[in-house]
Amino acid sequence: MRYNTLGIQVTLTCNMTCGHCITDSSPQARGDLTWPQIEAAVRSAAPHVDGVCVTGGEPLLRRELTLRTIRLTRELGLRSSMVTNGYWARTSDEAHSVWDLLEDAGLQKLAVSFDRFHDRIVSGGTLEVLLAAGAHRSVEMVVQHCGDPSDEAYRTAEEVAARHGARLVTAEVLPFGRGRRIAIRRGVRVDAVPDEPCGVAVRPVLQPDGELYTCCGPARGAQPHSPLRLPIDVTAEVGQALSTAATNPILNLIHSKGPRALLGYLSPAVRERVSTRLLNGSICALCRAVTDDAEAVAELDSALRPDRYRLLALSAVMRTAQDELAARPA
């Protein structure tokens, strides 16, 4: 398995407290990575990833740390991206000033989160200013909408993104972090979970507490035995942890076929048990229900070990297809 992006969560602190936040970020949340931790992680991960994404919390609350991370990413020849809530585009002058800093540091993609949870503080007008200031620059712009595509915030995001040449992507609210209060739907049947591959299993993230997970968000808080948690003692071990996980047959099966494919390798009793632990009908909820169960992980390890090379190859094919799809014009 080749990794698309290593996420560097520079801080848990955010100037917003969004109801769907998967990381429980807020103005009260504390926890930052230090520059030595970030540098060691990125340098060790460089042979195993195609890019680095700076995220948070709100990464621009730790502006110099964020800019240094982007500069290092460029120095190492990796793609650089950042996720922000866009609070800094309150005026056109401020927006242009921040854009200048990001572009000069070498940022290649900026994703701004905008939905009904964000627009209580960051309005459609702020999104307009941000994207207008970023138009015609060398940085790809993406607007990320999370939630119901029928709401007013989605229509705003769609209109403003189209006006300034930004790509709009959508996601559902997941039952993790503060999203548990919104997205939990108990009693969901396993056959209601989409039977599809996971696109984020190749996007590991390093958190401010030094924990490393093999997907960007839903894996946070996974059990110690879970393959979604990649054990490291110091951030200089990130590269080795990624190298080891890249051949893990459970992860490669999740990436290439999706969590529902795991169920066929479980004994009936274990399959029934994990099926009753679904938080909702998302593939992320099923993935966590299976991988948080120690007996399920042991059964999968045993059953998939003989097939690990085929699954590794299948994951590589899937990654190539995902890259080709992402490269197509909108």
Q: Which helix (H) or strand (E) holds 95?
A: helix 92-105
- Do β-strands 167-171 and 140-146 pair in parallel, antiparallel, or remain unpaired? parallel
Of 97, 94, 85, which is closest to residue 11 (Cα–Cα)? 85
Assigned token pair, 291: 């991988």
Q: Report the amino acid identity of residue 99.
A: W
Q: Phi and psi dihedrals of 216, rounded to 5?
A: -90, 75
Mean pLDDT of the chain: 93
- The CATH code of the domain at 3-184 is 3.20.20.70
- In the structure, what pLDDT confidence band is assigned to residue 327 with cuts at 50, 70 and 90? low
Strand extents, DSSP E, 181-303: 205-206, 212-213, 229-230
Mean pLDDT over 212-218 rounds to 89
Of 20, 29, 1, 46, which is closest to residue 114 (Cα–Cα)? 20
Decide if 131 contacts 160 (C-beta within 8 A).
yes
Decide if 137 contacts 167 (C-beta within 8 A).
no
Predicted local distance difference test score (pLDDT) of residue 76: 98
Decide if 57 contacts 63 (C-beta within 8 A).
no
pLDDT digits (tens, 9 = 90+) for 86-105: 999 999 999 999 999 999 99
CATH 3.20.20.70 domain span(s) along the chain: 3-184
pLDDT digits (tens, 9 = 90+) for 110-163: 999 999 988 667 899 999 999 999 999 999 999 999 999 999 999 999 999 999
Q: Which of 126-135, 181-190, 216-225, 305-314 has the lowest mean pLDDT?
A: 305-314
Assigned token pair, 157: 């995001």
pLDDT digits (tens, 9 = 90+) for 288-307: 999 999 999 999 999 998 88
- In the structure, what pLDDT confidence band is assigned to residue 210 with cuts at 50, 70 and 90? very high
Burial of 64 by CB count in 10 Å (0-12 exposed, 13-18 middle, 19+ buried)?
exposed
Predicted local distance difference test score (pLDDT) of residue 202: 87
SS3 state of residue 9: strand
